[in-house]
Amino acid sequence: MDRVLSTSELVEKYGLMAKKTLGQNFLLDGNITDKIVRLSLAEQGLNDFSGEDVAEIGPGPGGLTQAVLRKNPRHLTAIEADERCVALLGEIQTYYPQLKIIHGDALQFDWAAEAENSGKFHIVSNLPYNISVVLLTGWLKQVQNFKSMTLMFQKEVADRITADCGNKDYGRVSVLAQLQCEVVRLFDLPPTCFVPAPKIWSSVLLFKPRENPVAGVVLERVEKLTGLAFGQRRKMLRQSLKSVAGITEKAAALGIDLTQRAENLSPQQYLALAEAF
């Protein structure tokens, strides 16, 4: 055969069925996968991935994989936990030798070591929904290793990530994501785009790391403060943060009113509190 099979053809050839236990919902429509890559590149001011290293988590049947490869990355590292999909990806690899397939757990992947060897990555991924927030939080803690992250989430998760201060969806992941990145919603997808069709809509977000992301001890303090604050979000901050020594004095010095609730503080106010200790 003189061409790589389409995603639908590959799924049929390998008899691939999505596994609920792995959080799989396959995206087979090439128009949609091409749109994800096209809009992400345009938002970054890029025409393609020439000279760039890209990584994909949970590529499944390889629809998004092929869309990325058509944009000419230097390398594409695909990390896949499902052994059934690894063989299918191997067939794509015969047409695109720049594809590197890793059969393993993305949660255990050493991004810092890879970035040191290869340079910073662009991540493009239709994330397994059952571990999407865990993966994102881990990447936000080491965002210096990435040039961009184009990620698909359940829409309700995307709404939380992008929520503004004061919104009911605003929470801990909103603060962390917005401190570390400029977050752009590219578009939403209905359930009918997937096989099997989930019960919820999905959203594609682009994360563009900030020039000076929060790091080290200060980021740990932000995590602690937001964990306490949003863990008791119905309470005033003076109650939910009372275990933090010196919080009253530090907040007063910064002009932060602790009679407010967690969702009333902006990401920058949480950062200011963290930097005060």
CATH code for 7-209? 3.40.50.150
- How far apart CA 231 and CA 242 sit, in angstroms, is 13
pLDDT of residue 111: 86
Q: In sequence order, what E strands does 131-275 have?
A: 146-154, 181-189, 194-195, 202-209
Quickly name the fold that domain 216-275 has.
Answer: Helicase, Ruva Protein; domain 3 (1.10.8)
Sequence spans of domains, the chain: 7-209, 216-275
pTM of the full structure: 0.93
pLDDT of residue 82: 87
To which residue do tokens 């390889």 refer?
62
For residue 1, pLDDT beyond 60: no
For residue 22, pLDDT beyond 70: no
pLDDT of residue 18: 65
Burial degree of 100 (CB within 10 A; 0-12, 13-18, 19+): middle
Distances (CA, A) of 100 to 28, 29, 105: 21, 23, 15
Express as a percent the part of the chain with pLDDT over 90: 78
